[in-house]
């Protein structure tokens, strides 16, 4: 087991290095002049020349890459070409918002998707099953941007029930001290007992949360259903039923537990997908997370910012993959 984890860890580092190298080369291969960007839209030739030296862009590419890696190890991701602020600082400011969204939708995926799949499997080919399958297929296939805009129209413009976007409403932001402990607004306001902020933050989470959660919910529901159906035909389930154990116990204790393996893998991997999906959703809901951040960076070819987000996403992906691998490895039936 130890060897397995070690091997995986080394492999992950290799993957990360590859990602950084490729992204670095791609962002440099795009015809654009970072020095001109740094200097601003109406800079003179001298200003651009000075910026080139300031940014070290006058050095050969491999020297620049070496310098970048060296800085990276110190936690320095360089400076944004647009804002002239450290990328690490900017990322630190917007990562919690994204993580909050990803977490809430993952929790929803488990707590809604799992029971849905379970009911579906239990009542196979009955109307509940059809309905649940209809829902999960829809959830997986509806385009995110459509769902987001539709939910805004429905709950904000027509029903006037939920806020349009952002993490807090303007009034709350202006009138209350927004606690900053962990950076997660919901958590921080809960810790400090600021219920007005907490309630407001929670309300703001609903629409983007649902929009993002739909896909993993559908995925988990379908996965659970098919895994359960397979297991429900196994001999030991038949044996359990023959012993006269109540169906609930059979289903929850014997069947579900044994079908969890693939579901857990799917959930872990779908977090990676969700992270990327937030990029679009954050744009729709003006959510101040990394998706919103990178969207601006991409349009303006702000390569240090793009690299920063890529590295963050790559690390998240690699770590999640690692966790998924380890979870599978923990199953005694799987031989490593």
Partner 1 sequence: MRKFIKAKSWSMLVIVSLVLSLIVSGCGGGASNNNGSNGAKQVFFFAWTSTPFTDLDPSVENSNGIVPLNNMYETLLRFIPEEKKFVPILATDYSKSKDGLSWTFHIRKGVKFHDGTDLNAEAVKFSFERTKKLGKGAAYILDPIKEIKVVDDYTVEFKLSYPAPLDLIVASPYAAFIMSPTAVKSNPEDWFTQGHEAGTGPYKLESFVLGQEIVLTKFDEYWGGWEGKHFDKVVIKKISEPTARRQMLESGELDFTQDLPYEDIEALKKNSNLVVDISPSYENLIMLLNTDKKPLDNVLVRQAISYAFPYEDVVKYAAGGYATQSKGPIPSGMWGHGDNLFQYKHDLDKAKELLKQAGYPNGGLKLLLVYTSGDEAEKKTAELFKSELAKINVDLEIRGMPWESQWEMAKDKDPNKRQDIFVFYWWPDLTSPYSFLYPMFHSQKDILFNLAYWENPEFDKLVDKGAEQSATDLKKAEEMFIKAQEILVKEAPAIFAYDKQYIRVYNKSIKGYKSNPAYPNVIFVHEIYREN
Binding site for partner 1 (CB under 8 A): 30-33, 36-37, 39-45, 47, 82-85, 90, 93, 111, 149, 152-153, 155-157, 160-165, 169-171, 173-175, 199-200, 202-203, 206, 246, 248-249, 252-253, 283-286, 288, 292-293, 295-296, 299-301
Nearer to partner 1, 258 or 265 (CB): 258
Nearer to partner 1, 247 or 331 (CB): 247
Q: How far is the CB of 71 from partner 1 (least distance, A)?
A: 19
Whose tokens are 């690699």? That residue is: 318
Q: How far is the CB of 199 from partner 1 (least distance, A)?
A: 6
Nearer to partner 1, 15 or 298 (CB): 298
Q: How far is the CB of 249 from partner 1 (least distance, A)?
A: 7
Q: How far is the CB of 133 from partner 1 (least distance, A)?
A: 21
Phi, psi (degrees; rounded to nearest 5) at 166:
70, 175
Phi-psi category of residue 301: left, alpha or beta, with phi > 0 → left and psi -120 to 50 → alpha: left
Contacts of 333 (CB under 8 A, 6+ apart): none
Nearer to partner 1, 259 or 283 (CB): 283
Nearer to partner 1, 104 or 318 (CB): 104
Question: 145, 151, 200, 143: which is closest to 175 by C-alpha?
Answer: 200
Tokens of 261: 């393996």
Q: How far is the CB of 138 from partner 1 (least distance, A)?
A: 20
Q: Say how far apart CA 215 and CA 225 lie, in whole Å.
A: 16
Whose tokens are 């944004």? That residue is: 80
* Long-range pairs of 152-160 with CB within 8 A, sequence gap ≥ 24: 152/207, 152/284, 152/285, 155/206, 155/207, 156/207
Nearer to partner 1, 14 or 161 (CB): 161
Terminal CA-to-CA distance of the chain, rounded, Å?
A: 8
Q: How far is the CB of 120 from partner 1 (least distance, A)?
A: 17
């Amino acid at each position: 087991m130890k060897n397995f984890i070690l091997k995986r860890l080394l492999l992950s580092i290799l993957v990360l290095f590859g990602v950084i190298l490729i992204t670095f080369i791609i962002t440099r291969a795009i015809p654009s002049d970072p020095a001109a960007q740094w200097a601003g839209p109406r800079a003179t030739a001298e200003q651009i020349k000075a910026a080139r030296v300031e940014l070290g862009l006058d050095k050969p590419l491999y020297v620049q890459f070496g310098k970048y890696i060296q800085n990276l190890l110190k936690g320095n991701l360089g400076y944004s070409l647009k804002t002239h602020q450290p990328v690490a600082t900017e990322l630190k400011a917007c990562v919690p918002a994204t993580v909050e969204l990803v977490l809430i939708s993952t929790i929803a995926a488990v707590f809604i998707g799992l029971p849905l799949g379970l009911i579906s499997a239990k009542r196979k080919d009955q109307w509940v099953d059809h309905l649940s399958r209809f829902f999960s297929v829809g959830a997986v296939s509806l385009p995110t941007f459509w769902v987001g805009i539709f939910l805004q129209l429905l709950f904000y413009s027509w029903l006037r029930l939920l806020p349009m976007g952002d993490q807090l409403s303007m009034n709350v932001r202006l009138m209350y001290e927004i606690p900053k402990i962990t950076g997660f607004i919901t958590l921080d306001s809960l810790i400090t007992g600021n219920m007005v902020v907490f309630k407001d933050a929670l309300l703001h989470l609903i629409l983007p949360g649902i929009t993002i959660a739909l896909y993993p919910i559908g995925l988990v529901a379908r996965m659970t259903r098919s895994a359960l159906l397979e297991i429900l035909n196994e001999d030991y389930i038949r044996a359990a039923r023959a012993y006269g154990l109540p169906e609930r116990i059979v289903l929850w204790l014997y069947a579900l537990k044994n079908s969890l393996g693939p579901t857990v893998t799917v959930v872990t991997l779908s977090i990676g997908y969700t992270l990327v999906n937030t990029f679009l959703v954050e744009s729709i809901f003006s959510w101040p997370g990394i998706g919103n951040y990178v969207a601006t960076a991409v349009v303006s070819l702000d390569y240090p910012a793009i690299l920063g987000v890529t590295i963050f996403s790559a690390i998240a992906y690699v770590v999640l993959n690692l966790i998924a691998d380890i979870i599978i490895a923990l199953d005694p039936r799987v031989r490593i």
